[in-house]
């Protein structure tokens, strides 16, 4: 019931947001103008219909899902605020890197404290730093992946479907998220009429991290999210290489933009990454059901 309602709400709200806030957009980074210039003026407020439809579906799906909505809200607000700052400043940069990281770490601490009772067997001196770093890394991995039409949505959907199947505790919330993403994809596929912005990527990233922690399937999660972590790693390698060796490993990081620079079409990249995401989700499911991997 909740998933069906979420789909309908997102289908209704997304074009309404496009019509009402169509001028709400962020400038494109200078180094991406060659391949992304046609996206100027596209609304970047897609996080609103995503969050509202997800929250509505979770409230209808049972009281246990209200906790998940509560936990993802701080990250959604961080991303939304970042999008608003970009719009106000007419800049591709919102929060400074350090301010954004501090806010992300604080929100990660909030989530870690909320789900602590599921990990009482682990020493708090290990649990808190590891969980905070894990949550923050997942959020930034999704945020980095959100750079092409439909890319983040397509990479996320196989992971969400996997956890809807293997994790009963978070099944309803994952079905709701899958419904929201399915509806949003209609408007986010190339050529996108709306982007999810940082608000959407922070919402999805925090939700995926909570998925892993509440279900206890951390290893399965890491394997299924191979595409996200590959994107994060490519950006990390680029930063280290530039700062330490004054050289670039990729033309532009993360990986999807480098592939774009090699004349691989945007839609093709999204489809390839989707296929890889499906592959790793299937591998994860096989290891879960047949190998006893948790």
pLDDT at 119: 93
Residue 92 structural domain = 2-222
Q: What are the angstrom distances between the C-alpha of 36 and each of 31, 32, 41, 42, 90?
A: 9, 6, 11, 11, 17
Query: Is 165 part of any domain?
Result: yes
Residue 234 lies in a domain: no
- Encode burial over 137-175: b for 16+ CB neighbours within 10 A, e otherwise: bbbbbbbbbbbbbbbbbbbbbbbbbbbbebbeebbbbbb
Q: How far apart are CA 199 and CA 46, in angstroms?
A: 8
Q: What pLDDT does residue 161 have?
A: 98
Closest CA to 261 of 234, 224, 228, 229: 234
What's the total number of domains in the chain? 1
Other residues' Cβ atoms within 10 Å of the Cβ of residue 94:
21
DSSP symbol at 27: P
- Report how far residue 280's alpha carbon sits from residue 272's, in angstroms, rounded to the nearest whole number: 13
Task: Give CA–CA dist 136/119, Å, rounded.
Answer: 18
* Predicted pLDDT at 8: 97
Question: Distance between CA 140 and CA 171 in Å, rounded?
Answer: 24
User: Would the pLDDT of 262 be above 90?
Assistant: no
Three-state DSSP class for residue 194:
strand
Which residue in 257, 196, 203, 236 sits closest to 68, CA to CA? Answer: 203
pLDDT tens string 116-160: 998 998 999 999 999 999 999 999 999 999 999 999 999 999 999
285 touches 162 (CB < 8 A): yes
- 94 in a structural domain: yes
d(CA 171, CA 174): 5
Q: Band the pLDDT of 18: cuts 50, 70, 90.
A: very high
What is residue 21's predicted lDDT score, i.e. its pLDDT?
A: 84
Q: Does a structural domain hold residue 243?
A: no
Average pLDDT of the chain, as a whole number? 93
Residue 54 is predicted with a pLDDT of: 98
63 has a pLDDT exceeding 80? no
Asked if residue 254 is part of any domain, the answer here is: no
- Cβ neighbors of 116 (< 8 A, separation 6 or more) are 124, 127
**Res. 60 pLDDT band, cuts 50 70 90:** very high
Cβ atoms of 149 and 190 closer than 8 Å: yes
Q: Is residue 111 part of a domain?
A: yes
Asked if residue 233 is part of any domain, the answer here is no
- 32 — pLDDT class (breaks 50, 70, 90): confident
230 inside domain: no
Q: For 152-186, what is each residue's pLDDT tens digit?
A: 999 999 999 999 999 999 999 999 999 999 999 99
CA distances from 115 to 119, 203, 209 (A): 8, 17, 11
Q: How far apart are CA 213 and CA 153, in angstroms?
A: 21
Residue 291: predicted pLDDT? 75
DSSP lists the bridge partners of residue 43 as: 194
């Amino acid at each position: 019931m909740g998933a069906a309602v979420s789909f309908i709400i997102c289908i209704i709200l997304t074009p309404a947001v496009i019509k009402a806030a169509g001028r709400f957009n962020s400038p494109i980074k200078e180094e991406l103008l060659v391949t992304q210039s046609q996206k100027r003026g596209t609304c970047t407020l897609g996080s609103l219909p995503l969050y509202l439809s997800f929250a509505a579906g979770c409230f209808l799906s049972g009281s246990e899902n209200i906790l998940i909505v509560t936990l993802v809200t701080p990250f959604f607000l961080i991303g939304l605020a970042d999008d608003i700052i970009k719009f106000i400043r007419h800049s591709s940069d919102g929060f400074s890197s350090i301010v954004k990281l501090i806010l992300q770490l604080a929100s990660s601490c909030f989530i870690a404290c909320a789900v602590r009772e599921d990990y009482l067997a682990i020493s708090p001196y290990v649990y808190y730093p590891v969980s905070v770093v894990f949550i923050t890394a997942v959020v930034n991995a999704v945020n980095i992946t959100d750079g092409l039409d439909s890319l983040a949505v397509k990479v996320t959907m196989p992971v969400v479907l996997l956890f809807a199947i293997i994790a009963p505790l978070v099944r309803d919330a994952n079905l709701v998220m899958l419904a929201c993403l399915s509806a949003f994809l209609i408007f986010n596929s190339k050529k996108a009429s709306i982007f999810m912005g940082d608000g959407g990527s922070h919402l999805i990233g925090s939700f995926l991290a909570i998925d892993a922690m509440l279900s206890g399937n951390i290893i399965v999660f890491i394997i299924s999210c191979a595409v996200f972590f590959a994107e994060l790693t490519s950006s990390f390698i680029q930063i280290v290489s530039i700062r330490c060796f004054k050289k670039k490993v990729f033309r532009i990081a993360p990986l999807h933009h480098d592939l774009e620079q090699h004349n691989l079409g945007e839609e093709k990249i999204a489809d390839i990454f989707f296929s890889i995401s499906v592959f790793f989700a299937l591998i994860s499911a096989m290891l879960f059901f047949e190998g006893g991997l948790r």
